[in-house]
Amino acid sequence: MVVTTPKHSGHEHPRPRSAAVVDDIIAQLCDLGYRDTEPRRLVISAVAAQSRPFTAEELCSALPCVGRATVYRGLRLLVETDQVCRILLEDHELRYQLSQPGHHHHLLCGVCGASADLEGCGAEDLLREAAAAAGFRMKGHLLEVYGECVECVED
Amino acid sequence: MVVTTPKHSGHEHPRPRSAAVVDDIIAQLCDLGYRDTEPRRLVISAVAAQSRPFTAEELCSALPCVGRATVYRGLRLLVETDQVCRILLEDHELRYQLSQPGHHHHLLCGVCGASADLEGCGAEDLLREAAAAAGFRMKGHLLEVYGECVECVED
DNA sequence: ATCCATGCAAACCCTTTGCAGTCCA
DNA sequence: TGGACTGCAAAGGGTTTGCATGGAT
């Protein structure tokens, strides 16, 4: 069971060990008017414990004591509050992952399933301009990058 | 009903009127060993008649005389042979569209549902480089651009 | 004559919903 | 205490599959 998470030193969006992540997210949810419940904490804890993008089904399996509907509702709440982001694999399988601050795109490894963030690649501006050239006003986009991560290349 | 399609003068991938499109695609499928059947032609014809990205369900409705399984199987075959491409809307709804030669990205209008191709935007190279900088080898990607098309902007 | 293709219906997967009971604020 | 949350089970939608029949090569 992977419960420990790397300790970052940044102060913009501290990512402390699992228990603290739960407290942090619960606190934010409470600020929004949601309640602090045991099942909710269990869901958040399980989400934080995942080392790879996971499916809703996997989360349900990891939480045999929590109702499947509760897991789905909790996951949806986390997505809606931007605590968790959705990831789309090449075969259109939907997976989830704890949100990183400011991330927008993912480098998804088809070998090990790992996900890395692709930041500041400038793709958005490029797209917006290209779209504008066609008279199109870009208001959003979906971008996932598939391939092999550092550790899986040349395996 | 939009049955006529613009006649291109290029010889690389001529896009003639509907009936010819069907013949063209059927011919390619036959080359691959698939059979020339009436239901198959009906599916292709219906696909070619769509003026906007469509759902499998819409195609089924447009083909009341063709079994739903046959429509799905035909659609899948067309996607696998690159005759038709899949489009993903913001709400993750899956739609389809006749493939244009060399296109890869779509400008999808959330107002009228139209789709325009975004070519030569250089996003792929940019992504590949950005990914490579992280030691990631890009082998594919998913990119959809959402917004408002020329005709719907400022409505 | 073969074997692919079709059609129907049922199965399937994944997610949401209805409802009664439970628990936080 | 009241309204939000939970759990179960059932419904939902979108797509696939099993199987017997039909049709192309």
- Beta strands per DSSP E along chain B: 84-88, 94-98, 105-109, 115-118, 137-148
Distance from CA of B91 to the nearest CA of A (A): 11
Which class for A79: exposed (0-12), middle (13-18), buried (19 or more C-beta within 10 A)? Answer: middle
Query: Cβ–Cβ of A126/B131 closer than 8 Å?
Result: no
Of the ranges A85-89, B74-78, B87-91, B119-123, which one carries the lowest mean pLDDT score?
B119-123
Query: Does residue B87 have a pLDDT over 70?
Result: yes
**For chain A, domain boundaries:** 2-154
Q: What is the pLDDT of residues B50-67, one digit of tens each?
A: 999 999 999 999 999 999
CATH 1.10.10.10 is right for the domain spanning B2-154: yes
Q: What is the pLDDT of residues A4-48, one digit of tens each?
A: 334 344 344 444 578 999 999 999 999 999 999 999 999 999 999
Distance from CA of B99 to the nearest CA of A (A): 18
- Cβ neighbors of A130 (< 8 A, separation 6 or more) are B118, B121, B122, B123
pLDDT at position A153: 93
**Separation between Cα atoms, residue B42 and residue A52, nearest integer Å:** 44
Q: How far is the CA of B36 from the C1' of D23 (A)?
A: 10
- Cβ neighbors of A55 (< 8 A, separation 6 or more) are A93, A94, A95, A96
User: What number is the average pLDDT over the span B102-129?
Assistant: 91
Please, which positions of strand C sit below 7 A from a protein CB?
4-9, 14-18, 23-25
> Chain-wide mean pLDDT for chain B?
89
- Residue B116, chain A, CB below 8 Å: the answer is yes
Which class for A32: exposed (0-12), middle (13-18), buried (19 or more C-beta within 10 A)? Answer: exposed
pLDDT means per 10 residues in chain A (155 residues)? Answer: 37 61 98 98 98 97 98 98 96 96 88 92 92 96 96 85
Q: How many CB pairs under 8 A join A and B?
A: 122
Question: What's the pTM?
Answer: 0.87
**Separation between Cα atoms, residue B89 and residue B71, nearest integer Å:** 21
| Cβ neighbours of B88 in A, within 8 Å | 88, 92, 142
| Strand order across the beta sheet in which A105-109 lies | A115-118, A105-109, A137-148, B137-148, B105-109, B115-118
